[in-house]
Amino acid sequence: MKKRVVITGLGVVAPNGIDIPSFTSAIKNGVSGITFHQDLQELKFSCCIGGIPEITEEKKLEYLTPLQLRGFNSSGILYGCIAGIDAWKDAGFTIDEKSELDFDSGIIFGTGTSGVDKFREAIYKVDEKKVKRLGSTAVVQTMASGISAYLGGMLGLGNQVTTNSSACTTGTEAIIMGYDRISSGKAKRMLVGSCSDGGAYVWGGFDAMRVLTYKHNDSPEKASRPMSATASGFVPGAGAGALVLESLESALERKATIYAEVLGGAVNSGGQRNGGTMTAPNGIAVRRCITEAIHNSGIHPKDIDLINGHLTATSKDAFEVQNWSEALQLKGTDFPYINSLKSMVGHCLAAAGSIESVAAIVQLYEGFIFPSINCEDVHPEILDSIVEEKIPKEKINKELNIVAKASFGFGDINGCVIFKKYKD
């Protein structure tokens, strides 16, 4: 018998809000977190804008000790620690370095690459023949599992503590992996989420691939245009999202606040076949991932009130909407509402799936649909599948029951998760 899994804690560090209240307010009001970055221009990037969460030194000290901050230069780990600790506290737990080891709780916190700026420092020192000067701080900040290791120690968790990595699908995949672990009875609680560094050294490769927009350096807030006819590439972002998943039994026993239920999900790969490549999705696999998630959740496509798409603001958006429409067998006015958080925060890479899932759950819990901004000129091919009214341009207040969230990543990999409003 599978255990039911609910969400009892949320944390977020996004370009337009670095805690749940400010993030919620920003997405309700369509506030963009995209800004111009002088350093990118000086480095001759084509795309000189991006979404970077602003964290003050005071805020850092609320989460990390002065010792942890010595030689600290990993923005992803910082964002992940803030989001993870916030989510854990939000779920009603305390952070105590002397707490008893908790074998029933674990962590799956993903990332694409860790501590890129720290790694750059280390490489310079090694090349200067000063390897000894790396000290003790280089490894833990640059190992991929750095974020789960930092959180694991601060929270004292004794179940599985690991880091997953699946490009832009990472955050969504972490949720599904945590769900599987709880539903199969292997853990009572899993802190799941993902984080990503920001800045020149992470974004440079994308700039070189010419997948970032270079047309909006003087209008950053208008730059990220998912589903728009004038979308011209994505805007890079950074941050972290975190969720505490918990068995329904455990949540009820603790009388915890339940934000939503995770009904189920699916992950798969298009194998870079049938039109799928390292960077483009195989539509057959995308549609199969969506239908499997729906099947595993025991719902009907018509039950879905809102889709929080992957929708990056590239030429692939129309294909994504078409895939949703075909997978759900819903067209035109029958299609659910659909929006893209990337319109406000850009593409937060490995952190995208978790930040966007936090947005999905906040909408479910509070009963609203955030506006998908910069889409006043919907791409005509999208209108072949759905009617324009399904893309909200202003916030809609609406009781929601089921939200579908999907992420699609480089390597032709897919993840789709179904969240439902929790009712007693």
Q: Which residues bind another protein (CB under 8 A)?
A: 66-67, 70-71, 132-133, 135-137
Residue type, 61: L
Alpha-carbon Rg for the chain, nearest whole angstrom, is 20
If phi > 0 it is left, if psi is from -120 to 50 it is alpha, else beta; for residue 156 that is left
Q: How far is the CB of 67 from another protein (least distance, A)?
A: 5
- Specify the residue, 137 or 196, whose C-beta has the smaller distance to another protein: 137
- Closest distance between another protein and the C-beta of residue 390, in Å? 54
As a whole number of angstroms, the distance between CA 406 and CA 342 comes to 13
What token pair was written down for 71? 């030689």
Closest distance to another protein from the beta carbon of 65 (Å): 9
Helix axes 283-297, 317-328, angle to 10 degrees: 40
Q: Least distance in Å: CB of 155 to another protein?
A: 18
Q: What phi, psi does 168 have (nearest 5°)?
A: -75, -10
CB 335: neighbour CB atoms within 10 A? 21
H/E segment holding residue 140: helix 137-142
The least distance separating another protein from the CB of residue 226, rounded to whole angstroms, comes to 44
Q: In the bound complex, what is the minimum distance in angstroms from residue 142's beta carbon to another protein? A: 15
Nearest CA-CA partner of 233 in 242, 246, 224, 221: 224
Give the CA count within 13 Å in the CB-facing half-sphere of 421.
17
Q: Characterize the bridge pairing of strands 337-339 and 402-409.
A: unpaired
For helices 352-366 and 20-28, angle between their N-to-C axes, nearest 10 degrees: 80
Give the residue with the Cβ less far from another protein, 110 or 152. 152
**Which tokens hold the place of 373?**
């901004």
Nearer to another protein, 132 or 423 (CB): 132
The contacts of residue 240 (CB under 8 Å, 6+ apart) are: 11, 12, 13, 76, 79, 80, 82, 83, 84, 193, 194, 195, 196, 351, 354, 355
Shortest distance in whole angstroms from residue 223 CB to another protein: 42
User: In 276-419, where does DSSP find H-type helix?
Assistant: 283-297, 317-328, 342-345, 352-366
- Euclidean distance between CA atoms 164 and 173, whole angstroms: 8
Please say which residue, 71 or 411, places its beta carbon nearer to another protein: 71
- Closer residue to another protein (CB): 133 or 331: 133
**Cβ at position 211, least distance to another protein in Å:** 39
**Smallest separation, CB 55 to another protein (Å):** 21
* Closer residue to another protein, CB minimum distance, 149 or 256: 149
| C-beta closer to another protein: residue 68 or 314 | 68
- Smaller CB separation from another protein, 141 or 312: 141
Whole-number minimum distance, CB 326 to another protein, in Å? 53
Coil, strand or helix: which one is 194?
A: strand
Give the nearest distance from C-beta 97 to another protein in angstroms: 10
C-alpha to C-alpha distances, 168 to 65, 99, 164, 348, 401, nearest whole angstrom: 31, 34, 11, 8, 26
Nearer to another protein, 68 or 224 (CB): 68
* Rounded Cα–Cα distance for residues 6 and 189 (Å): 10
Nearer of residues 136 and 397 to another protein, judged by Cβ: 136
| Beta carbon nearer to another protein, 141 or 159 | 141
